[in-house]
Amino acid sequence: MMSHGGGQGKGLISWQIGRIDRDGAARAVREWTLVFRDGRWESGMLFAMSKQYFYFRLIPPRATFPQDITAGEAALMQRHADYFEAEFRAGRVIAYGPVLSPQGAFGLAILEMDDEAQARAFGAGDPSVIAGLNRFEFFPMRLAASRAKQQNSQG
């Protein structure tokens, strides 16, 4: 994939090198970006991104959860919260928290993982999933921008 953008005297070129897995799914392996400003390519603006990003959704056991949470479920959800906090501190979770939807609350996280298998293992390792309380789903996403991504690319 290659994209160009810019304005007068500015340009952006980015591309991905990927592979097609046996299941037919496309997997991004590396992404590079160059920025062209004022007639020259800016030094230090070439970077490779080996991580992949995923939208992660934690699916609760019922639409009324957590309003009617039991003491046992609350204890399990505390273990879940500890798990997510540890993964956040380790840098594998960029952001996370509950979404208070009128149709029922659910958990959301943005993951930064090496690949889909690592994202799946992350979800399967959640204590609330192991215990059978919650389920999860996740989808690859293209992270266009984030505060953390901007700080890391400048440092």
- Express each pLDDT in 35-69 by its tens digit: 566 666 654 434 445 789 999 999 999 999 999 99
Mention every residue, 6+ apart, whose C-beta is less than 8 A from residue 97. 107, 108, 109
**Domain-embedded: residue 151:** no
The more confidently predicted of residues 150 and 50 is 50
Give residue-wise pLDDT tens across range 93-136.
Answer: 999 999 999 999 999 999 999 999 999 999 999 999 999 999 99
Residues 72, 129 within the same domain: yes
pLDDT of 153: 54
The more confidently predicted of residues 145 and 55 is 55
Residues 101, 111 within the same domain: yes
pLDDT of 146: 77
CA angle 103, 109, 114 (to 5 degrees): 145
**Domain-embedded: residue 46:** yes
Residues 71, 124 within the same domain: yes
Domain that holds residue 116: 52-141
**Is 0.75 topped by the overall pTM?**
no
Report the pLDDT averaged over residues 132-152: 82
pLDDT of 137: 97
Domain holding 73: CATH number? 3.30.70.1060
pLDDT of 81: 97
Residues 46, 14 within the same domain: yes
Cβ contact 109:93 at 8 Å: yes
The domain total for the chain is 2
Residues 135, 67 within the same domain: yes
pLDDT of 51: 85
Cβ contact 116:101 at 8 Å: no
Residues 89, 15 within the same domain: no
pLDDT of 4: 38
Q: Nearest to residue 119, comparing CAs of 60, 48, 54, 63?
A: 54
User: pLDDT at residue 78 above 60?
Assistant: yes
